[in-house]
Structure 1
Amino acid sequence: MTMPPDSPTAKQMNNVKIIYGLYALGYFVAITTLVGAVLAYMWRGNDRMADSHFTFQIRTFWISLLIGLLALITMVIGVGFLIWIFLTVWGLLRVISGFLLANDGKPVSNTKYLGMMAE
């Protein structure tokens, strides 16, 4: 789907891609993930297609935070390390699949594989 570069949808989709980039950068500098979540909340509400991505990104943030806390708590019994590995793979798949959809100009309509991938 090709959009004129100056259309509101194209601008919003660029914002979506920026947030996916911040989430990916969050694997190296954690604060960028929080910045991405705040921006997703701020930018949501102007475009249906972009909003599907913003909602997906916001859910990714909160679910990751909860799984991360679970991993931290269960580190004492050794299970936390496995949960961290799962969280890393889960988060990367969500970021990559969401970015690819945004790059193609498609909304997030659903998830598959335990919520790991946007479709």
Structure 2
Amino acid sequence: MSLQTTDNTTSPRTWALVVWGLFIASYFTFTLTLIVAVIIAYVKRGDLAGTPFASHMTSAIRTFWISLVVGIIGVILLFVGIGFIILGAAAIWQLFRVIRGLIRALDSRPIDDPEGWF
């Protein structure tokens, strides 16, 4: 399977690596690159349909939205003292999904269950 498309555009693998790399960068840029990553994932998901990398876009989008919702819940629950636990668990969960996605993209493999929790 060739990773380069016939019209010399960016390969699907590169798009997956860019999205996961931006997710990792978001830990240092206070979510700015995370927003860029999810926009790219939405834009490229259709273009990557039929490739192993479409699952990466779906997984990245799902990771973003679940992280956002759980993060908001965690911030609200900071006022009753359990928000730190929820935010910590969400950060670990997100990091797991990002590292898994990055490894699978480097290996040119799809995400097995991009809509699942793990």
TM-score, normalised by the number of residues in structure 1: 0.85
Greater mean deviation of Cα atoms: 73-82 or 38-47 = 38-47
Q: Does 1:82 align with 2:80?
A: no
Identity of aligned residues (%): 33
Q: Does 1:45 align with 2:46?
A: yes
Unaligned runs of 5+ in 2: none
Matches within 5 A, 1:46-65: 46-47=47-48, 48=50, 49-65=52-68
Which residue does the alignment assign to 1:7?
5
Number of residues of Structure 1 aligned to a counterpart in Structure 2: 111
Q: 2:108 aligns with which of 105, 110, 113?
A: 105
Which residue does the alignment assign to 2:28?
28
| Alignment RMSD (CA, Å) | 1.7
Amino acid across the alignment from 1:15: W
Q: Does 1:69 align with 2:80?
A: no
TM-score, normalised by the number of residues in structure 2: 0.86
Amino acid across the alignment from 1:115: W
Which residue does the alignment assign to 2:117?
115
